[in-house]
Chain A
Amino acid sequence: MSDSTIQHHEESRDVTFRVHRFNPQVDSKPYFDDYTIRLEKGITVLRAINYIKEHVDSSLTFRAFCQAGICGSCAMRINNMSKLACTTQVWDELDKAREPGVIKVEPLRNLPHIKDLVVEMDPLVGKMQKYSNWVDSKMPEEQWGKKEFLVSEEEFLAYDKATDCILCASCVSECTILRAHKEYVSPAVLLKSYRMNVDSRDAMHDQRLAGLVQDHGVWDCTHCYRCQETCVKNIPIMDAIHGIREDAYASRGSKDTSGARHAEAFMDDIEKKGKLVEATLPIRTNGVVWTLKNLLPMAVKMVIKRRTPPPPPLVKASKGIDALRKEFKEMTSHVGKDHEKKSGE
């Protein structure tokens, strides 16, 4: 039994908080301060760092407000994962600590750092503005305030879960692609964009979607599901991201973006061969020029190592491909009927 397992059953114990510190006015680089305090079981990380600020080191800087998991302002990285300090139990974190009895506390990632545990939220707000994360009412302005804009239960259910978002930015902090490129739209903004696009009162769907399919938009998500796993409100964020992609593919077709062309290639290949024809996937996604420029040097290495995917004529179709094609076609007619039914409503 490890030290941490023994101790987490205790009703009170010493706990060390290893806190990221940085004051740009005096420090040349960030460092960690260790604060060891005696705590009782049942206490949250926020109450613990509040105690440190009040009794040990008043210079420790962090944001917090509601203390009830509603306002989202106390999001920080605790033991290498972004979460709300006010809903995180110290005793739960002791189980996860890499060093027994030590809880690491850091600021959110992927946002500019201001001081200690505080980050700048403006870039996120800027992206929400860029992607019009608000409902632009369909109702003519002269009717505002005079007529109710009713939303049916079914219409509301389309974005019910997305409205749980409290903009704590935990998903932003853990996003793989945002870490790789700061221009990326970010999961929180994709979630909000989806929520606005499926709102029956909104009139800006096409314009918003046109922005979302551009560079650094919805197609750049790498499906790592870290955002969803991190979400403090358990919102299925990837469903929203896939929802935008499904919508983009259905309403804009595959011609205007490499992401949509890439996705369509899977559909085509499955119908024709039952398997993916990888050799031509880069060309179908990005064209010949891009493929030659970006992949030729690697293709040479792959030829030498005999790892090149076979050219299309040599990709043998799956056994039973005729039956699969028939089934695929039949499902296509089902989907067609679904669309007719939907547009007739």
Chain B
Amino acid sequence: MKRYAYYQSCINESMTKEVDRSIELWQHDLGIEMVKMHESACCGGSNLDYVSPKHFALVNGRNIATAEKQGLDLVVSCNTCLMTIRSAKKKLDESAELRNEVNEILRKEGLEYRGTSQVRHLLWVLIDDVGLDVIRKKVKNPLSKLRIAPFYGCHILRPSTVLGKDNPLEPTSLDQLLDALGGKTISYEHKNRCCGFHTLLVAEEESLNVAAEALKEAMDEKADCIVTPCPLCHTVLDGYQGKALKQNGLKGSIPVLHLSEVVGLALGYSDRQLGIKRHIVTV
């Protein structure tokens, strides 16, 4: 059983609890164990870095140091947490001065940022550590009836200097996983575009226009559902779907599933077990 330090994203502890619930259901089936990091702190959600760059480095240096203390890689299931913590890691790795300043403070808690733990998305762990062939063999309920619109979200792709797993303009990782689960993915322009989440409370009209355009293209392409590896994208595309479509004079609806839920469905778990009934748009 390969173990990982599992970073608990704020949103997965409040609005999208079904993400962690589904991972807990199937993790052992795939030979992995996500050890929850109860002592981790909010990454700053792509905001703390400009409110105070030094607190940003401290908080995320501490998050990574906590995983390092256990000798485990830090794994997240939220794109923005991934991008944010990796950005901090890059800054700490590139600046001995910043690293020393952060470590001087962390040392009093018995922690030290060394840069030994990798910061990875759950999707990457499934592909690189579990392996697509193993996943293919474990599938009990292939998603073969589904025409899926993969929605990567920004912060698993961009900035590529921080992420670097996929080609940010032509990503394939989520498509590969969905293919291993037996699903048929569609090629559409919005698969690597933005959901609008980060301006929902600051420029709501713009955010909803962004979401509506993505939803429209997926519906026009006759997708049965959208699948995303990010709970923030899910919150906009599912939770705000009705409002976004109405604002843009559009009709219809499309279910939006978390990556962790489609893995669960393919491995034979029910929608009730996975928490899919909690979505705003009926699946």
Contact = CB atoms under 8 A, between A and B. Distances in A.
Q: Do A and B come from one complex?
A: yes
Interface string A298-331: 1001100111111000010011100110111011
Among B38, B47, B58, the most chain A Cβ lie within 10 Å of the Cβ of B47
Contact of B54 (A179, A249, A263, A334): A334
B282 to A, nearest CB: 10
Contacts of A297: 243
Contacts of B50: 242-243, 245-246, 249, 263
A305 B48 CA distance: 31
Interface in B159-201: 159-160, 168-170, 187, 189, 193-194, 196-199, 201
A285 B201 contact: yes
Interface string A321-345: 0011011101110110010000000
Nearest to A98: B187
B51 A266 contact: yes
B13 A275 contact: yes
Contacts of B159: 225, 228-229, 236, 238
B48 A298 contact: no
Interface string B241-283: 0010000000000000000000000000000000001111000
A264 B280 contact: no
A264 to B, nearest CB: 6
Interface string B200-214: 011111110110010
B101 interface: yes
B95 interface: no
Contacts of B135: none
Contact of A179 (B46, B51, B210, B277): B210
A276 B201 CA distance: 15
A14 to B, nearest CB: 23
A278 B15 contact: yes
Contacts of B170: 96
B8 to A, nearest CB: 8
Contact of B109 (A258, A307, A323): A323
Contacts of B154: 223-226
A40 interface: no
B134 interface: no
Contacts of A267: 44, 48, 51-52, 55
Residue of A278, A305, A338 with most chain B CB atoms under a 10 A cut-off: A305
B139 interface: no
Contacts of A72: none
A331 B10 contact: no
Contact of B196 (A176, A263, A266, A310): A176
Interface residues of B, number: 65
Given A276-B10, A318-B40, A177 B52 contact: no
B40 A263 contact: no
Contact of A184 (B158, B193, B196, B206): B206
A262 interface: yes
A229 B168 contact: yes
Contacts of B14: 278-279, 309-310, 315
A17 interface: no
A220 to B, nearest CB: 4
B24 interface: no
A129 interface: no
Nearest to B48: A266
Pick from A224, A297, A301, A335 the residue with the most CB of B within 10 Å: A224
B239 interface: yes
B67 to A, nearest CB: 14
A266 B45 contact: yes
A306 B278 CA distance: 7
B201 A222 contact: no
A102 to B, nearest CB: 14
Q: Which 6 pairs show the lowest CB-CB distances between chains A and B?
A: A225-B158, A309-B14, A180-B209, A224-B194, A276-B10, A180-B206
Given A270-B59, A334-B54, 7 more contacts: A222-B196, A222-B197, A222-B199, A223-B155, A229-B160, A305-B279, A307-B16
15 contacts: A180-B205, A220-B206, A222-B210, A229-B158, A258-B201, A264-B51, A266-B47, A267-B52, A270-B55, A270-B59, A305-B277, A305-B280, A318-B38, A327-B105, A331-B55
